[in-house]
Amino acid sequence: MSSIPQPADRKKGVPEGLWLRCPGCKATVYRKEVEARLFVCPECDHHFTVPVRDRIAQLLDTDSFEEWDAELAPCDPLGFVDRIPYAQRLVEEQAKTGQKDAAVCGKGFVRGRPVVLGITDFHFMAGSMGSVVGEKLARAAERAADAKLPLIFVSGSGGGARMQEGILSLMQMAKVSAALARYDTAGGLYISILTNPTMGGVAASWALQGDIHLAEPGAMIGFAGRRTIRNTVGLELPEKFQTSEFLLKHGFVDRIVHRRDLRTEVARIIDYCDIQ
């Protein structure tokens, strides 16, 4: 006679990752339903972080994206070691995401309108900005200026500057900012889309230098996080501090846009600004 399956045996038949726990409402939700809703919770509308290829598909017209500089890969100038060597961490992150680093840049179309697009991906080392990320974003801004195209950066960087690259990562803040200044001088339209999280050196540089700042609902946007501020200077921050709603109220964000409406909203802004 066959034995009666025990609970542990039945559990083996359930695919891993089939369900997600929503950080917003704590509900257990079906992954495929979340993905079908553009990575938005069906219960509370919480916006999950989005893998970079899905973000491209959400924002740009189908099959219109042409990637630039995909071959650029980071090195390990300091031989940095924290919990594991930086070189090993890079190999693991590249295997996990299928990307060389945290930024993907290129050109495409938004409802038929040509644009230059740059995205930082939280899934690769929390979207932290090292030398390759900065180089890709700076090149994207320079190419947008040369082609006289609207520039869209989507920030999903919770790690700020990448400490494993030391001063080389910090200088990317200035490098990307300088490229954006040249783009602005050339008369370009820069739309910055702030997603959860946008923190640290990214928030302190290119993410908040746009002509137009759009933010997804409930996104955490700021420099130092709530816990860091409490532990260093002993301050308890106001409720909802560093959220997109708080920043909209205080003038740092122009509009909060649901993920399903981002493509249409970007197209409307381009038309309004008469950028051809």
Taking the C-alpha atoms of residue 149 and residue 66, their distance in angstroms, rounded to an integer, is 14
Residue 253 zone, left/alpha/beta (φ > 0; ψ -120 to 50; rest): beta
User: Does 105 show up as a binding residue in the annotation?
Assistant: no
Taking the C-alpha atoms of residue 14 and residue 217, their distance in angstroms, rounded to an integer, is 32
The DSSP secondary structure of 209-227, one letter per residue, reads --SEEEE-TT-BB-SS-HH
* Phi–psi pair at 77, nearest 5 degrees: -65, -25
User: Does 44 show up as a binding residue in the annotation?
Assistant: yes
At position 164, the amino acid (one-letter code) is: Q
Query: What's the full length of the chain, in residues?
Result: 276
Give the H or E element holding residue 126: none
User: Does 273 show up as a binding residue in the annotation?
Assistant: no
89 CB-near residues (< 8 Å, 6+ apart): 125, 164
Buried b (16+ CB within 10 A) or exposed e, 66-99: eebbeebebeeeeeeeeeeebeebbeebeeebeb
Taking the C-alpha atoms of residue 23 and residue 41, their distance in angstroms, rounded to an integer, is 9
Question: Do you find a cis peptide bond into 150, omega within 30 degrees of 0?
Answer: no
Taking the C-alpha atoms of residue 177 and residue 116, their distance in angstroms, rounded to an integer, is 16
Annotated binding site: 22, 25, 41, 44
Annotated binding site for Zn(2+): 22, 25, 41, 44
